Every structure is written in C-alpha cells, then in structure tokens.
C-alpha cells in the first residue's frame, strides 16, 4: 500500500488514507471502515495503523480494494483536493544514520580542499591532509552505522515550507530515504530485521552547514543547532509498505533544485543496510514500532559534496523510485538575521 496522512481543509484534522489509481485518488480508511461497520480504531492515524500490526494492515488493504472497486462514495477522494502531511507526523523517535560511507568521503574531500585553498601552497597542504589521514572515514563508522537523534517534534511534509534558521549562510538539502518500523524488538538479528519493517519513505534532513561546522569542531558530533531546528526534517509524500518494493536496495534516487538535477544515486550504494541499522541500534535497547531511521545522504546527494548551496525560496524535489517525490520550498523568515562572525569552515 501507499499510505498517506491528509486533510481536506485547513480546519480538518489529519486523516489516514491510501493512494490508488496512480496516486490520483485517496481512500479515506477511517470512513471506509465506518462504511462497513468495522472497528475504526486502527485507522485514526498512521501510528494507530502501525500499532495495529499485520491484521490492521490486511484490513486496510481489503478496505482499499473494496472502495476502489466501487469507484465512488464519500471514502473515495480526489488527490488534487487534499493536503498531504508528513505520512507519519508523530514518530516515536527519529534517527538519522550514516549508511552511505562514500558521502562522508566526498564531504571530507570538499572540506579539506577548501581549507587547503587558504594556504600558500594548496597542493602541498592537501597532500599533508591526505598523509595525516584527515580524509579517511573512521574505522568505527565502517564497522557499524553511526547515527544522530533528529527532531521528531517538528516534521514537515510534502509542499510544506522548510524554515531557514537565523544566522545560517550555507543551507543544504540531503537526499535520503528512511525505513519505518512496524514492530518492536531488542537485540534484533540482521537476518530477521526485515520482519520489523513497516515501510519506506523519503527523508530530507535540511542542514545549516556553517553552524554544523562549528558544532563539529567542538567534538560534539554531527548534530546540534546545525541540524536541530524547527521545520528542518521533511518526510513524504507517502509510506510505501515493505511488501510493495521487491528489492529496496536497487532504487534510483534523484534531487532537483528549481527543476535542475543536482544529485543522482541509488540505494544499492548503502554500505550499511537498514537490516544492519536495526541489528546495531537494537543492541541492549528496544526499538519500538513507529520509529523512523534515515539512511544518511546518498553519495552526491547534497550541496556540500558539490560545494554548492541553497538560496532563499529554492524548491527542492527529492525523488526515490517506487516512493514518489518529496517537494519543499526553503524560506528565510521575514526577520532573518545574518551571522556577523566569519565563516571559518
């Protein structure tokens, strides 16, 4: 199924739906259940459906098929008349992982090339950086996926505006996808981890690169204010249930800025797959249903790797094969303040 959270008007509370007919129509699952006098508890929200387990998902499929075969009725809605929200606007937790190691290598190459360019002999400086191992990915990141805790309390969806944080000069997108968990577990084995997958969605982890660089120099890691700001995490347009994608590790990923392609990659480039993520992160801790784990950035999948950054009012479209397109506009607030300290990254 292709599941969405939607509303019919700004005053209408979010509802749970399923895309059908090449995403041109939406089945309102709560109304569909009420129409056949079924228990609607599992269809009040995406999280409720996930918590309902396989039985609830099977019932959702049956309802979708029933409504689609009718071809009309109050539970069948035109997609053009609806507002789609983040498909899971209230995940229990949101973590972003480093599954594509080549992205890290590319980012380090760009960063140290910039630093070397400030020296009297850039070529010699770059050679020294390489010899020191500064451009190497730490072995710890090769052995297991590192992660950061992302802000799960301020998630935006398709066509929403992403907010440019005050004082940032270099804003960036990140072309990612994510797995949504459908069941809980502790000490999960990689061989069985896929049984905990509910589905997949697209994830844009907006980043204030200049602010992030300051945090990295403190030794605090990849997160901090450069990642953790309101309306900085976008998900959507839908959650595609795991059974819908025959091979999740062979999906094309593309990013377009104002219609121009900036990035292209494939999920096959993951060094750590989502099975590895669940196996690693469930060690000595419980992973719950309704959590989201981002993949990290696909190689070439952000402006940082191209030394090219976003501008106010840019439209960012992230596309992942079999999932769809997540589109957002990046907007500076009216009272945006420039940062007076020089950019030292």
Q: What pLDDT does residue 217 have?
A: 63
Q: What pLDDT does residue 261 have?
A: 98
Instruction: Report which DSSP code applies to 14.
Output: P
Domains and CATH numbers, the chain: 2-85 (2.30.30.230), 93-331 (3.90.850.10)
Closest by alpha carbon to 274, among 186, 188, 190, 204?
Answer: 190
- The whole-number average pLDDT for the span 106-111 is 89
For 205-237, b where at least 16 C-beta lie within 10 A, e where not — what string?
bbbbbbbbbbbbeeeeebbbebbbbebbbbbbb
Distance separating alpha carbons of residues 207 and 221, to the nearest angstrom: 14
What would the pLDDT profile of 31-81 be if each residue is shown by its tens digit?
999 988 888 899 999 999 999 999 999 999 999 999 999 888 899 999 998
- The whole-number average pLDDT for the span 127-141 is 90
The pLDDT of residue 93 is above 90: yes
**pLDDT, the chain, mean:** 92
Q: What pLDDT does residue 221 have?
A: 56
pLDDT band, very low/low/confident/very high, at 159 (cuts 50, 70, 90): very high
Q: What pLDDT does residue 218 have?
A: 58
Closest by alpha carbon to 263, among 190, 188, 317?
Answer: 317
- The whole-number average pLDDT for the span 176-189 is 98
Give strand pairing partners of 289: none
The region of weakest confidence among 151-165, 171-185, 205-219, 292-306 is 205-219
Tell me how crowded residue 123 is: count the other CB atoms within 10 A of its CB: 9
What would the pLDDT profile of 184-196 be if each residue is shown by its tens digit?
999 999 999 999 9
Q: Of all residues in the chain, what percent carry a pLDDT higher than 70?
A: 95
Q: What pLDDT does residue 252 have?
A: 98
- The whole-number average pLDDT for the span 192-207 is 97
How many C-alpha atoms does 148 have within 13 Å on its Cβ side?
Answer: 19
CA-based torsion, 43, 154, 318, 271: positive or negative: negative
Q: Of all residues in the chain, what percent carry a pLDDT higher than 90?
A: 77
């Amino acid at each position: 199924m292709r599941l969405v959270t939607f509303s019919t008007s700004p005053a209408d509370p979010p509802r749970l739906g399923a895309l059908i007919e090449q995403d041109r129509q939406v089945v309102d699952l709560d109304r569909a259940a009420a129409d056949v006098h079924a228990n609607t508890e599992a269809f009040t929200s995406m999280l409720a459906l996930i918590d309902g387990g396989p039985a609830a998902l099977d019932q959702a499929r049956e309802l979708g098929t029933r409504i689609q075969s009718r071809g009309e009725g109050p539970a069948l809605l035109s997609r053009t008349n609806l507002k789609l929200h983040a498909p899971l606007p209230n995940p229990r937790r949101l973590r972003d992982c480093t599954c594509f190691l080549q992205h890290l290598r590319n980012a380090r190459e760009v960063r140290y090339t910039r630093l070397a360019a400030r020296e009297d002999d850039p070529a010699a400086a770059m050679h020294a950086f390489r010899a020191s191992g500064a451009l190497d990915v730490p072995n710890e990141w090769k052995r297991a996926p590192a992660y950061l805790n992302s802000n799960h309390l301020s998630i935006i969806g398709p066509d929403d505006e992403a907010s440019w944080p005050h004082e940032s000069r270099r804003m960036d997108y990140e072309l990612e996808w994510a797995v949504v968990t459908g069941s809980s577990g502790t000490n999960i084995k990689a061989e069985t981890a896929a049984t905990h997958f509910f589905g997949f969605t697209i994830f844009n982890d907006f980043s204030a690169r200049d602010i992030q660089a300051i945090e990295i120099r403190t030794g605090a890691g990849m997160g901090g204010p450069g990642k953790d700001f309101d309306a900085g995490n976008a998900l959507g347009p839908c959650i595609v249930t795991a059974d819908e994608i025959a091979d999740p590790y062979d999906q094309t990923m593309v990013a377009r800025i104002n219609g121009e392609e900036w990035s292209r990659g494939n999920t096959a480039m993951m060094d750590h797959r989502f099975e590895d993520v669940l196996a690693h992160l469930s060690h000595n801790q419980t992973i719950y249903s309704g959590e989201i784990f981002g993949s990290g950035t696909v190689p070439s999948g952000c402006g940082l790797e191209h030394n090219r950054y976003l501008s106010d009012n840019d439209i960012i479209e992230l596309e992942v094969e079999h999932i769809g397109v997540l589109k957002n506009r990046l907007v500076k607030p009216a009272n945006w303040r420039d940062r007076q300290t020089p950019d030292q990254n």
